[in-house]
Amino acid sequence: PSPRDLEGVKVVVSAGPTREYLDPVRFISNPSSGKMGFAVAGEARDRGADVTLVTGPVNLPDPPGVEVVRIETALDLRDAVVGAARDADVVVMTAAVADYRAAQRSDEKQAKVAGDVTIHLTPNPDILAELGAQKGERVLVGFAMETHAGVERAALKARRKNADFILLNYPTREGTAFGGDDNEVTLVRPDGSSEDWPRLSKREVARRLLDEAARLYAERRGM
């Protein structure tokens, strides 16, 4: 059974991919399944937290006892997460936010033309960095996917975004990360220290993530 160590704690979790529309019927996205974020939301709920889950389009049902907000684009994700985070104690960004969106989203379906076409993309806001810039007492957790120099890059990211820690995962390992039920992650702190966790179910990764977040939360409140 889960400990009830998050009673009265407000937790916001983002999950899944975002969709960046080019026109009403076409978008740029990624294969994020949402499973990691849903596991964090379910585990936090079972430990007594008051949970808001902001999720992009995924094939997962609303977890009972969690406030679920369904969004599509990175801009909508930002509005929902920043709004929910205002009175949150812990924010976990598992969403695979698209780095770019179309500079101009057409209201009409674009007709096919002969030859190559060019799409202009513009950067999306970095939600974790935005939350980090106004962090207060909140515990902020990010995820990162890297193919090389993972720990160094993740530590740099944690510092730049003012996150308390980042769980680094690897897109190339069989059965983990995108779509899988397991994950193999390394916890990376801003100071560059790290812990390799074994391959675990996403629920067990969520459990350890929340152990670390709860520890930091208690420390920050002088508990």
Q: Which of 41, 66, 91, 127 binds ligand C5P (CB under 6 A)?
A: 127
Complex with ligand C5P: residue 9 or 95, whichever CB lies closer = 95
Per CB under 6 A, does 95 bind ligand C5P? yes
Residues contacting residue 219 through CB under 8 Å, at least 6 positions apart: none
Nearer to ligand C5P, 126 or 182 (CB): 126
Instruction: State yes or no: residue 126 binds ligand C5P (CB under 6 A).
Output: yes
Residues placed in the known binding site for CTP? 99, 109, 125-128, 143, 157, 161
Nearer to ligand C5P, 122 or 193 (CB): 122
- Write the DSSP string, 157-200: HHHHHT-SEEEEE-TTSTTSSTT-SEE-EEEE-TTS-EEEPPSE
36 near ligand C5P, rule: CB under 6 A: no
Looking only at residues 140 through 199 of this chain, which bind ligand C5P when binding is defined by CB under 6 A?
Answer: 142-144, 157
Q: Residues with Cβ < 8 Å from 172, sequence gap 6 or more?
A: 147
80 binds ligand C5P (CB under 6 A): no
How would you write 100-148 as a 3-class SS string?
A: EEECCCCCCCCCCCCCCCCCCEEECCCHHHHHHHCCCCCEEEEEEECCC
Q: Which of 30, 59, 124, 162 is catalytic?
A: 30
Q: Catalytic positions, please?
A: 30
